[in-house]
């Protein structure tokens, strides 16, 4: 919420800075938040055991498997555009570039669709069986 204060009376010039508001007129603006790529850096600690000298490493979450990768939000958008709206790969890549100022390789978009197919395979098989 943004309050737009009235600091002075335009009629007589009196200060209204310390005068309590008697009411408000409200207007609302519906808009989309700025969409941008969010990068989360993951670091696994490396420590040498003072007792035996062995190097020990922290464990990354299982979904953080590559040195650089796209997260589930990007993959979901890619699969959604392609499967729900039949947007071709080239146009999907262009949408990402236009909206996020980030070009995603077409191979990455294809892989996102393939990963989705694997995830929904049990449901697809159940529908076919039914």
CB 29: neighbour CB atoms within 10 A? 5
Query: Domain ranges in the chain?
Result: 70-129
- Cα–Cα distances in Å, from 8 out to 2, 26, 61? 19, 20, 57
Spans in the chain with pLDDT lower than 70: none
Q: Which pTM was predicted?
A: 0.66
Q: What is the pLDDT of residue 51?
A: 96
Instruction: For 47, list phi and psi in degrees, rounded to 5.
Output: -135, 145
Q: What is the pLDDT of residue 27?
A: 94
């Amino acid at each position: 919420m943004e309050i737009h204060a009235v600091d002075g009376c335009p009629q007589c010039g009196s200060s209204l800075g310390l005068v309590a508001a008697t009411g408000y007129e409200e207007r609302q603006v519906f808009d989309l938040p700025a969409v941008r790529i969010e990068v989360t850096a993951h670091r696994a600690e490396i420590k040498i055991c003072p007792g035996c000298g062995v190097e020990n490493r922290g464990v990354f979450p299982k979904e953080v498997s590559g040195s650089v990768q796209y997260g589930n939000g990007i993959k979901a958008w890619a699969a959604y555009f392609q499967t729900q709206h039949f947007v071709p790969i080239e146009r999907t890549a262009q949408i990402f570039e236009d909206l996020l100022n980030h070009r995603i390789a077409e191979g990455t978009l294809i892989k996102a669709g393939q990963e989705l197919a694997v995830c929904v395979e049990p449901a697809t098989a159940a529908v076919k069986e039914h």
